[in-house]
Amino acid sequence: MNNKVKPAEGNLGILVVGLGAVTSTFMTGVLMARKGLTKPVGSMVEYDKIRVGKGEDAKYLSYREIAPIAELKDIVFGAWDVYPANAYQSAIYAEVLKEKDIEPVREELEKIVPMKAAFDVNYAKRLNGENIMEGATRWDMVEQLRKDIRDFKAKNNCERIVVAWAASTEIYVPYCKEVHGTLESLEKAMKANDRQHIAPSMCYAYAALCEGAPFVMGAPNTTVDIPAMWELAEKTGMPIAGKDFKTGQTLVKSGFAPIISTRCLGLNGWFSTNILGNRDGLVLDEPDNFRTKEVSKLSTLESILDCDKQPDLYNDYYHKVRINYYPPRNDNKEGWDNIDIFGWMGYPMQIKINFLCRDSILAAPLLLDLCLLSDLVLRAGRSGIQRFLSFYLKSPMYDFTKGEIPVNHLFQQYTMLKNALREMGGYEADEEID
Ligand SMILES: NC(=O)c1ccc[n+]([C@@H]2O[C@H](COP(=O)([O-])OP(=O)(O)OC[C@H]3O[C@@H](n4cnc5c(N)ncnc54)[C@H](O)[C@@H]3O)[C@@H](O)[C@H]2O)c1
């Protein structure tokens, strides 16, 4: 194991923005797993083994055998939310897990009481909770959040903190160069309480990076997708990752689209729709919030089925994504994909995928891995955009000012993940992305 990476000693504080369905499912699962009452299925940190070394030296090791990753027993949880419900109440309300899977850790969950949210109702009109910082300007939010992080760290005797956003999707905030272009202009806008360009999520990210905590964006918000945040991440030496957990339909899409592109089949159209009835679905029922999700979901195919590289095959295909709020299904999303492809001499064919999934059950292990790996990256001294974490994310971050393109192809992303781990473990990265 590489001794250049600092060891994972002491407590790791995981502070999650939003204590809703995903977060309560994640926390309950971790607490149950460390009591030996469940298995952390879906977490690659816990289960995956990858090859290091070549030929006769090849061996397959778990991520923890390759690099020093924090243990579940060392995690301490905290959260912010617009609603005052503690993690136990939130897990019961979400109805993702059965009571028998929550009760054994009830006491620990009840102790996770959300701190007051940095919230602006204009960014999520369907929410009306009262656990919020009253009358706070954007800069007040930053200062209060920084204090929250410091206090939590001291009170819980944490060596390190990771902050992850698993709160509602905010309305779409397009990139504005004058405000989001540099750290100086971002800070100026925060201090001027520019509520149009500064989303509350930016205050969380800014506070986290300033307090020495990596930041993970699990929703499609454009929060850390701006040069100002990259500048701050470099200045503070903090890693950032985003955006939007790649859970159900988009996971299928980024795994299935390579079948079409690898076999040089053509695409006329891809229609994705789903029904979802949890609070996430309620927020996304608002057109301005859905817009943020739509932009994120639409980006998945672009770099896999690339019209510039293969104009005969991928010219002008129709890609549509819908989300429909349908309360009876709660967290149990049902997704349908209709894919119109064409083959030899242009003859059309269709593929239908019907995925009956559980949103938070898919998201929880991603949140765990993203937090554990961000903490590893911090100790390995890597800062800025962590492109290898694209594997977990629908709309991977990339530096558009340098002409980079995002990698959406699931198996190329997996190669990036494996190579980053190999490097952090002191082994050679040995697979090229092509
Ligand atoms: N579950 C999935 O498969 C999946 C996949 C990709 C992305 N996501 C995203 O993850 C996020 C969480 O999903 P969920 O199902 O847990 O939603 P949820 O509605 O159950 O929980 C979100 C919580 O965030 C809180 N919140 C909103 N704004 C806040 C703020 N400014 N500060 C603090 N708290 C705030 C809300 O009060 C709510 O309790 C959503 O943005 C969702 O789009 C989920």
Verify that 345 and 383 share a domain, yes or no: no
CATH number assigned to the domain comprising residue 398: 3.40.50.720
* Alpha carbons within 13 A on the beta-carbon side of 156: 23
Expressed as residue numbers, the domain containing 81 is 11-245+360-424
- Structural domain includes residue 429: no
Helices and strands counted in the chain (H then E): 16, 14
Positions of E strands within 131-180: 158-165
In order, the DSSP letters of 4-19 are TSPP--SEEEEEEE--
Which DSSP letter does residue 61 get?
A: E
Indicate if 341 and 403 belong to the same structural domain. no
Residues 319 and 187 in one domain: no
Q: Do strands 348-356 and 318-321 pair parallel, antiparallel, or not at all (unpaired)?
A: unpaired
Output the CA 2–ligand 1 centroid distance in Å. 36
Q: Strand 266-276 relative to strand 324-325: parallel, antiparallel, unpaired?
A: parallel
Q: Digits of tens for pLDDT over the chain (434 positions)?
A: 555 899 999 999 999 999 999 999 999 999 999 999 999 999 999 999 999 988 888 899 999 999 999 999 999 999 999 999 999 999 999 999 999 999 999 999 999 999 999 999 999 988 889 999 987 899 999 999 999 999 999 999 999 999 999 999 999 999 999 999 999 999 999 999 999 999 999 999 999 999 999 999 999 999 999 999 999 999 999 999 999 999 988 899 988 999 999 999 999 999 999 998 888 888 888 888 887 777 766 778 888 898 889 999 999 899 999 989 999 988 888 999 999 999 999 999 999 999 999 999 999 999 999 999 999 999 999 999 999 999 999 999 988 888 888 888 888 899 999 999 999 999 988 876 55
Same domain for 253 and 240?
no
Q: Which of 19, 92, 168, 288 to mutate to test the pocket of ligand 1 (most atoms within 8 A of CB)?
A: 168
Residue 431 lies in a domain: no
Q: What distance in angstroms lies between residue 216's CA and the mean position of ligand 1's atoms?
A: 13
